[in-house]
Amino acid sequence: MNPVVIHDPTLRDGQHAVRHQLTAAALRRYAEAADAARIPVVEVGHGNGLGASSLQVGLAAVTDDEMLATVRDALRHSRMGVFMLPGWGTSADLQRAVERGADVVRIGVHATETSLAERHLGVLREAGVEAQCVLMMSHMASPEELAEHAARAVGYGAQAVGIMDSAGHFLPPDVTARIAAMAKAVGTVPVIFHGHNNLGMAVANSVAAADAGARIIDGCARGFGAGAGNTQLEVLVPVLERSGFATGIDLYALLDAADLAERELMPAPPIPTSMSIVSGLAGVFSGFKHRVVELAAAAGVDPRDVFFELGRRQAIAGQEDLIVDVVAQLSTNAHGKDK
Amino acid sequence: MNPVVIHDPTLRDGQHAVRHQLTAAALRRYAEAADAARIPVVEVGHGNGLGASSLQVGLAAVTDDEMLATVRDALRHSRMGVFMLPGWGTSADLQRAVERGADVVRIGVHATETSLAERHLGVLREAGVEAQCVLMMSHMASPEELAEHAARAVGYGAQAVGIMDSAGHFLPPDVTARIAAMAKAVGTVPVIFHGHNNLGMAVANSVAAADAGARIIDGCARGFGAGAGNTQLEVLVPVLERSGFATGIDLYALLDAADLAERELMPAPPIPTSMSIVSGLAGVFSGFKHRVVELAAAAGVDPRDVFFELGRRQAIAGQEDLIVDVVAQLSTNAHGKDK
């Protein structure tokens, strides 16, 4: 059995599903349950990571400092992870997180923007914590590009490097090609895979990743996360075990943690809805959904057409203005047809 | 693009999730939506098939005759399918269904009990409708056994033959081996795959089935079905299309049908809960859940242990008495340990 390290961002990526409103008490209870299941890494934070809590993207119910203190106190066996997007968070946020006991720190960058992580990875290496780098929206880059950027991240000091299927677009063969190329490029450095379930493929993609050489796999209790949700952790673990990978996690305690998460963290577990299926097919971040639906309705165009056109234009997070353009174009086209 | 025929048992297998209480109005609305999407076969009935409505397994809200008349009237393009378990239904039920316009009739038998379908398949061939045979709890039989029984079913007159992953136990390699063996054994006769989502693998298993030669694949809107649910139809279709298979289904109309199903057929879409994950891992029909949980609680034993022991004993539907034995044994063991 090859070992795989399970990384659990329930208390960070899951926050997107509840507008970052998890309470300190809820963070503590889930962290204790995850710790009892011996989940290796429990990640916590605002959905967009350290320093992101703001009026613009949403104020979290709890400050970064309180989140870290709460989860640190709850963990006996698990290591604590945090996430940061350069620009949203700064080196000062990283230093504070390390002082508050973060063991594993991930820097997230767009698939082909590894250079943005260089300085932060250096800071983390000096601080003596595990420095990881994840490439987001990775379906927008080829296996070769991802391999090149993975090698660059390792050159900057990353001790693990991987990809997020941020739009939930991948099918297993897509994952196999990318992870294999990256694993080959970085040798013994562990490769990370983080899935989303827009096409019902998060668990299957994660197994494909492990088969192709990934050694750190992410999953969230009940798939807690935005839109169609993340890889369902308590499904992922026994399926990996059956597929020949050792996680070291206690199954019953893991199921208990997932039951607690369903009861205490979320209004309802995520499922692939029609709009999240479309965003996955189009390869567009599902966080665009509310604006797409709103603007499409106002203009009388089909929001599904908007998603597919955004996909053709390769829209990424931060480019929400493109929605306005696309809706206007589709509205003009429809108007033209009516004449 | 290889063609795949999508078979939609939303209005039959989905009934299990609502104790067979779908109304005639709901049947009609979903059938119309499925027809608009050009889904090739729309199956309708009591969850356990023709003739099964009874006090013992649950009285349906609508009689078989009214279900068939309602859906028949709603379909313009799609063919109408029905399902029957020998013993629950009879040849007389089959004749009535054919008279009421069933185009595709499936006989379901335990994986290694094909002989029970012989007479019924003969009746159907004489009646001139498409006769299909599906082998249930197919994880309990080897690829070789399934191939042998598939060939037998074809000998009895089946025009399509396949497997149901009734316990949601399969991972893709399990499906590949079974479908490939069956396809080889039956030559040009189409092979059927029907998945359940206990391990989050229903869509991935269905793609594996198609890759291995299956030509009829089942899916239910939003996965509507008992426990963790069936293969989610509106995810399955675009994923099959992206994987090189042509379904002939209109994606937007399919998404509309799924939205309607979520709104009008079900209290909430199914997800893999802890107990359905355990039943999938154990290879036990999730219909055992309520009795297992009830009896385990009364005896103070862990229902998960009960499921795994039922799996070791290869319990199948109809053997609910085994639950009592297993609970008693586990209770004695626990009592012994306490001394």
In a domain, A212, yes or no: yes
Model pLDDT for residues A83-120, shown as the tens digit of each residue: 999 999 999 999 999 999 999 999 999 999 999 999 99
Q: Of the candidates A242, A271, A273, which has its C-beta nearest B271's C-beta?
A: A271
Cα(A244)–Cα(A218) distance, rounded to whole angstroms?
Answer: 17
Model pLDDT for residues A273-283, shown as the tens digit of each residue: 999 999 999 99
Chain centroid, CA B179 distance in Å: 16
Cα(B279)–Cα(A223) distance, rounded to whole angstroms?
Answer: 19
Of B55-59, B96-100, B160-164, the range with the lowest mean pLDDT is B55-59
The annotation status of B194 as a binding-site residue, yes or no, is yes
Q: Is the pLDDT of residue B224 over 50?
A: yes
| Strand A245-246 to B245-246 pairing | unpaired
Q: Of the candidates B236, B243, B277, which has its C-beta nearest A255's C-beta?
A: B277
Q: Do B136 and B226 lie in a common domain? A: yes
Contact at CB, A277 and B255, closer than 8 angstroms: yes
Boundary-marking domain end, from B233, B264, B295: B264
pLDDT band at A339; cut points 50, 70, 90? very low
What percentage of chain B reaches a pLDDT higher than 90?
A: 94
Cα(A17)–Cα(A35) distance, rounded to whole angstroms?
Answer: 23
- Give B199 to chain A, closest Cα distance, Å: 6
Chain B hits for A281, Cβ within 8 Å: 238, 242
Model pLDDT for residues B81-119, shown as the tens digit of each residue: 999 999 999 999 999 999 999 999 999 999 999 999 999
Boundary-marking domain end, from A213, A245, A264: A264
User: B7, B16, B46, B169: which is the annotated catalytic residue?
Assistant: B16
Q: Do A106 and A190 lie in a common domain? A: yes
Contact at CB, A271 and B222, closer than 8 angstroms: yes
Q: Do B23 and B102 lie in a common domain? A: yes
Neighbours of A141 (CB within 10 A): 18
Cα(B169)–Cα(B39) distance, rounded to whole angstroms?
Answer: 27
pLDDT band at B297; cut points 50, 70, 90? very high
Q: Of the candidates B201, B259, B277, which has its C-beta nearest A274's C-beta?
A: B259
pLDDT the model gives residue A336: 67
pLDDT the model gives residue B125: 94
In a domain, B53, yes or no: yes
Nearest residue of chain B to residue A260 (CA atoms): B274
Cα(A274)–Cα(B222) distance, rounded to whole angstroms?
Answer: 9
Q: Of the candidates B232, B258, B281, which has its C-beta nearest A238's C-beta?
A: B281
Among all residues of A, which ones are annotated catalytic?
A: 16
Q: Of the candidates B203, B242, B256, which has its C-beta nearest A200's C-beta?
A: B203
Cβ neighbours of residue B325 closer than 8 Å, sequence gap 6 or more: none
pLDDT band at B316; cut points 50, 70, 90? confident
Contact at CB, B238 and A203, closer than 8 angstroms: no
Mean pLDDT, chain B, as a whole number? 96
Q: Is the pLDDT of residue B294 over 90?
A: yes
Chain B hits for A203, Cβ within 8 Å: 199-201, 204
Contact at CB, B199 and A268, closer than 8 angstroms: no
Residues of A near B (Cβ–Cβ under 8 Å) read 171-172, 199-204, 207, 222-223, 232, 234-236, 238-239, 242-243, 252, 255-256, 258-259, 262, 268-269, 271-274, 277-278, 281, 302, 304
Contact at CB, A304 and B207, closer than 8 angstroms: no
Q: Of the candidates A199, A203, A258, which has its C-beta nearest B239's C-beta?
A: A199
Q: Do B247 and B283 lie in a common domain? A: no
Contact at CB, B232 and A199, closer than 8 angstroms: no
Q: How many domains does chain B have?
A: 2
Q: Is the pLDDT of residue B128 over 80?
A: yes
- Give A264 to chain B, closest Cα distance, Å: 15
Contact at CB, A200 and B252, closer than 8 angstroms: no
Chain B hits for A238, Cβ within 8 Å: 199, 277, 281
Neighbours of A198 (CB within 10 A): 29
- Give A101 to chain B, closest Cα distance, Å: 32
In a domain, B167, yes or no: yes
Model pLDDT for residues B203-213, shown as the tens digit of each residue: 999 999 999 99
Please name which of B49, B12, B330, B304 lies closest in space to residue A252, comparing C-alpha atoms: B304
Q: Is the pLDDT of residue B338 over 60?
A: no
What percentage of chain B reaches a pLDDT higher than 70?
A: 99
Chain B hits for A222, Cβ within 8 Å: 271
Q: Do B314 and B236 lie in a common domain? A: no
Please name which of B48, B42, B75 lies closest in space to residue B64, comparing C-alpha atoms: B48
CB–CB of B111/B141 below 8 Å? yes
Nearest residue of chain A to residue B203 (CA atoms): A200
Q: Is the pLDDT of residue A300 over 50?
A: yes
Q: Is the pLDDT of residue A250 over 60?
A: yes
Instruction: Please report the DSSP string for A66-88 in residue order.
Output: HHHHHHHHH-SSSEEEEEE-BTT
For range A221-237, the mean pLDDT: 97
Q: What is the CATH number of the domain that holds A130?
A: 3.20.20.70
Boundary-marking domain end, from B264, B292, B321: B264
Maximum C-alpha span of chain B:
69
CB–CB of B170/B145 below 8 Å? no
Q: Do B243 and B287 lie in a common domain? A: no
Cβ neighbours of residue B300 closer than 8 Å, sequence gap 6 or more: B331, B334
Q: Do B300 and B235 lie in a common domain? A: no
The annotation status of B166 as a binding-site residue, yes or no, is yes
Q: Count how many Cα atoms sit within 13 Å of the Cα of residue B190 in the half-sphere of its side chain.
A: 17
pLDDT the model gives residue A260: 98
In a domain, A118, yes or no: yes
Please name which of A221, A217, A218 lies closest in space to residue A256, comparing C-alpha atoms: A221
Cα(A305)–Cα(A288) distance, rounded to whole angstroms?
Answer: 13
Q: Which among B277, B279, B293, B308 is the top mutation candidate for probing chain A, defined by the most A β-carbons within 10 Å of its own β-carbon?
A: B277
In a domain, A170, yes or no: yes
pLDDT band at A337; cut points 50, 70, 90? low
Mean pLDDT, chain A, as a whole number? 96
Contact at CB, A277 and B222, closer than 8 angstroms: no
CB–CB of A150/B218 below 8 Å? no
Q: Count how many Cα atoms sit within 13 Å of the Cα of residue A37 in the half-sphere of its side chain.
A: 29
Nearest residue of chain A to residue B202 (CA atoms): A200
Q: Do A320 and A172 lie in a common domain? A: no
CB–CB of B198/B164 below 8 Å? no
Chain A hits for B278, Cβ within 8 Å: 255
In a domain, B269, yes or no: no
Cα(A303)–Cα(A309) distance, rounded to whole angstroms?
Answer: 10
Binding residues of A for Mn(2+): 13, 194, 196
Q: What is the CATH number of the domain that holds B316?
A: 1.10.8.60
- Give A133 to chain B, closest Cα distance, Å: 28
Model pLDDT for residues B265-277, shown as the tens digit of each residue: 999 999 999 999 9
pLDDT the model gives residue B339: 45
Instruction: Please report the DSSP string for B219-271 in residue order.
Output: -BGGG-SSTT-B-BHHHHHHHHHHTTEE----HHHHHHHHHHHHHHT-SS---
In a domain, A171, yes or no: yes
Model pLDDT for residues A172-214, shown as the tens digit of each residue: 999 999 999 999 999 999 999 999 999 999 999 999 999 999 9
ipTM: 0.95
Q: Do B227 and B308 lie in a common domain? A: no
Q: Do A259 and A325 lie in a common domain? A: no
Q: Which among A197, A242, A245, A277 is the top mutation candidate for probing chain B, defined by the most B β-carbons within 10 Å of its own β-carbon?
A: A277
Model pLDDT for residues A17-75, shown as the tens digit of each residue: 999 999 999 999 999 999 999 999 999 999 999 999 998 889 999 999 999 999 999 99
pLDDT the model gives residue B335: 72
Q: Of the candidates B222, B238, B268, which has its C-beta nearest A281's C-beta?
A: B238
Contact at CB, B207 and A259, closer than 8 angstroms: no
In a domain, A269, yes or no: no
Q: Which domain holds residue A203?
A: 2-264
Distances (CA, A) of B67 to A142, B45, B234: 51, 6, 23
> With left for phi above 0 and alpha for psi between -120 and 50, is residue A144 left, alpha or beta?
alpha
Chain centroid, CA B285 distance in Å: 11
pLDDT band at B256; cut points 50, 70, 90? very high
Q: Is the pLDDT of residue B136 over 70?
A: yes
A42 in helix, strand or coil? strand
Chain A hits for B258, Cβ within 8 Å: 274
Model pLDDT for residues B179-194, shown as the tens digit of each residue: 999 999 999 999 999 9
Q: Write b or e for each residue in B153-185: b if 16 or more Cβ atoms lie within 10 A of its Cβ, otherwise e.
A: bbebbbbbbbbbbbbbbbbbebbbbbbbbbbeb
Residue B62: both structure tokens together? 């609508």
Q: Do A50 and A188 lie in a common domain? A: yes
Q: Do A252 and A290 lie in a common domain? A: no
Q: Write b or e for each residue in B220-234: b if 16 or more Cβ atoms lie within 10 A of its Cβ, otherwise e.
A: bbbbbbbbbbbbbbb
Nearest residue of chain B to residue A256 (CA atoms): B274
